[in-house]
Amino acid sequence: MNESAQKLGTAPVFLTAISTILGAIMFLRFGYAVAHVGVLGVFLIILLGHLVTIPTALAIAEIATNQKVEGGGEYYIISRSFGMTIGGAIGLALFLSQAVSVAFYVIAFAEAFRPLFAYLQTHHQIMITDMRVVSMPAVLALCAIVLVKGADMGMKVLYVVVAVLFLSLVLFFFGSPITAAPDDMSFLTARVDNPDPFFYVFAICFPAFTGMTAGVGLSGDLKNTRRSIPLGTLAATITGMVVYLAIAYFMGYCATPDELNADPLVMGKIAIWGPIIPIGLACATFSSAVGSILVAPRTLQAIGADDLLPGKEAGAWLAKGKGKSNEPFNATMVVSVIAVVFVAMGDVNSVAEIISMFFMMAYGSICLISFLEHFAADPSYRPTFNSRWYISLFGAVMCFFMMIQMNALYTVLSLTIMTIAYLAISYTNPDKSGLAAIFQGVIFQFSRQMQIFMQKSRTSQADRNWRPSVVCITASTFSRTSALDLLRWMSHRHGFGTYIHYIRGYLSKETKQVADEVMARLLRLIRVGRGRVFVDTIVSPSETSAISQVIQLPGVSGHENNGLLMEFSKRDPADLAGIISHVPLVAANQFDFFILASSDRNFGYRDEIHLWITPQDEDNANLMILLAYILQGDPDWQNGTVKIFAAYPETKMTEEEDRLRALIRAGRLPIAPQNIAMIPYADTVKALVNQHSRDADLIILGYRNEMVKHFGADLFQGYDDVGDVLFVRASSQRVLASKEELADLPALPTEAAPAAVDEVAPEETPAASTENKPADDDPGATQPVP
């Protein structure tokens, strides 16, 4: 659409909005409202209603001055902020409410002729009871005018009806009290006997405040959208509020509550010339119908242009315009059919409540967009008119609160319809964005604030609040997935995992392209495998330099990284020598070091975890116990069991078992006593593991740096009869229970005895020992030697 064709200024925006605001409710139900809640109560209703409409008007003004608002008005704003699928669902609901509103206002327009019909019946014995004799010709004439003349002719009609509306208000305010003027200010609180509840009256009156966005639908026909929408919308909203306050006060002053409650057109008895009120009602409702029939087709035209509807032919047909100004002729025909159908039904009271819900959803969405834009702090969001984030947030909250207050059932029904529309659009348009950049900006700001907060409040990771924040680095992602599986189990609920695929080389244009391709494959792998880890790539000339870089990286979650996971294949342990060479570097940086020896079993059935604790595991045992507990929190292991094998010299077995049981009880770990097997030390641990853990799906063993110096690669090999083995070295001792908690435990039952090896029962997790640790340079027979 060229700029010359966009010929409308600010006045049409103001007139469309004010003619919708000052509608049927003002003439027909304001007297009822004053009668039931009093003048001050109506003041409160007006103020509460504008707590929704003013933030929405400010939000619209702000958003419209940041981006070019094209055809579709509110729909365009919402869809370009929330994304096409969400915006399309809200847009369809908005369109239906606008289209049915045409019929609603035309039916209300027919009500203005009741005094005339009463006169005909009294003086000429002509009885007319079916108001469709007025509403059907009226809606057909309205549709014909807009179809033939378009928005330009609609605006000319709008000028006339707004002039008559203004005249009716002037004559009303020049009127006088029906009986006698009150002597004091008691009329401000006067009410009828047994009045209706406040929020019931509010629900009836609220639609009177919901027309301020009507002018936004003309955005595609405006010369200067950024000027006309803010100025016209805000002017109409404030003008409407002032007029409503004045009407409520003058009604209470000129009539008693009983007089106001008895006659819906009581304003005619107050006005200086009574017939002007039915005429004004006719003009108000007709102008509201004109505003709706100008806006609804443009919303549908914009939805069709975005190709969101099932079938491209339907979308193209609706998007097609007429003439240089691209008048939505086809969309207007659809609106006309809907309007005629609902007018023929004659009663749209129930539908009108749903209409109000959809309007409230639109207003709440607009306020929410403004708030999220403020929170996201996107540099590209630079409106020339600025609202305040707390005003927009308050408006959004008020919208949804008022929806529930008006009708909770219709609120649920409206949300259900919106959800169905969203799912349908998502299904037929999988390529359309569901969430736009606005949410990415919000997530960025939230993550930034949380990371800063966590860094400021960071404490030592050796305390009892430790949680895993593990980085895994490997070059074997696409040949073995064991490391990725283990990392996602470790970070499922209690921790955070960062998975980094290593690419050997120097960073260049070529290696960057390779890294991008690998990253795309990683993301696909994560989606398919239900991974809950952060993935990335790193290009470095050596694995050592890559690990040095990775160890220094800040934690993505805001929690400092505290562990490194590496993996080698038991069948082809070519990577093992490199992993062993990194042990001093990892230890120097106080990282826990997890080394996974993966087998062809690939963790088997995820049924049994065997935990082996020896006298050398003073620092490792508590971390091993916590790790087994964390693994069982993943759905893949939720039906699995943990068995603890504690291998100690026979003279120390009873003492160590008591220590383990006390530690597990004080640490509140779900491990039954029968899950602990005490094994006398008569052989190497490696032989015991191969003998007793042949059917385990994962084995967890501890190791120490001094053992790596003594035995090298042999320390991690020789477990040929078992499946996957995880070797754990803790940088410091983890705390399962404090000394005070251990001291407060009741005495153990005297009948408790160590379980025999063949009686080990499947249950849950393990515990640790703190004595009998041999010297660092004396591995002894208790070491897992080959």
What count of other Cβ atoms lies within 10 Å of the Cβ of residue 400? 18
What confidence tens digit (pLDDT) does each residue in 257-315 have?
988 888 888 888 899 998 888 888 887 787 778 777 888 888 888 888 888 877 677 77
Overall average pLDDT of the 503-525 stretch = 92
pLDDT exceeds cutoff 70 at 59:
yes
Q: How confident is the model at residue 44 (pLDDT cuts 50, 70, 90)?
A: very high
Predicted pLDDT of residue 715: 93
Pairwise CA distance, residues 671 & 649, whole Å = 23
Strand ranges in 1-158 using DSSP code E only, listed in sequence order: none
pLDDT exceeds cutoff 60 at 1:
no
CB-CB contact of 266 with 251 (8 Å) = yes
What confidence tens digit (pLDDT) does each residue in 696-754 have?
999 999 999 999 999 999 999 999 999 999 999 998 887 765 555 445 545 444 444 44
Interior angle at CA 172, CA 167 and CA 178, nearest 5: 160
**Mean pLDDT, rounded, of the chain:** 80
pLDDT exceeds cutoff 50 at 777:
no
| Token representation of residue 464 | 């009892």
Overall average pLDDT of the 13-37 stretch = 83
Q: How confident is the model at residue 770 (pLDDT cuts 50, 70, 90)?
A: very low
pLDDT-wise least confident of 15-24, 104-113, 631-640, 660-669: 660-669
pLDDT-wise least confident of 118-132, 171-185, 320-334, 454-468: 454-468
Pairwise CA distance, residues 375 & 377, whole Å = 5
DSSP state at residue 124? H
Comparing 671 with 379, the larger pLDDT belongs to 379
pLDDT exceeds cutoff 70 at 573:
yes
Overall average pLDDT of the 529-533 stretch = 72
Overall average pLDDT of the 519-542 stretch = 86
What confidence tens digit (pLDDT) does each residue in 493-502 have?
788 899 999 9
Tell me the CA distances in angstroms from 277 to 178, 271, 280, one per residue in order: 15, 8, 5
Predicted pLDDT of residue 185: 86
- For the chain, give the percent of residues with pLDDT over 70: 82
What confidence tens digit (pLDDT) does each residue in 387-428 have?
888 898 999 898 888 888 777 888 888 788 878 888 888 777
Predicted pLDDT of residue 277: 87
Q: How confident is the model at residue 220 (pLDDT cuts 50, 70, 90)?
A: low
What confidence tens digit (pLDDT) does each residue in 628-651 have?
888 988 888 888 888 888 888 887
Q: Which contiguous run of DSSP H or E holds residue 590?
A: none
What confidence tens digit (pLDDT) does each residue in 683-695 have?
678 888 998 999 9
pLDDT exceeds cutoff 70 at 774:
no
Burial 290-323 (b: 16+ CB within 10 A, else e): bbbbbbbbbbbbbbbbbbbbeeeeebeebbebee
Overall average pLDDT of the 92-97 stretch = 82
pLDDT exceeds cutoff 90 at 621:
no
pLDDT-wise least confident of 236-240, 618-622, 691-695, 771-775: 771-775
Tell me the CA distances in angstroms from 156 to 159, 218, 526, 554, one per residue in order: 5, 14, 60, 64
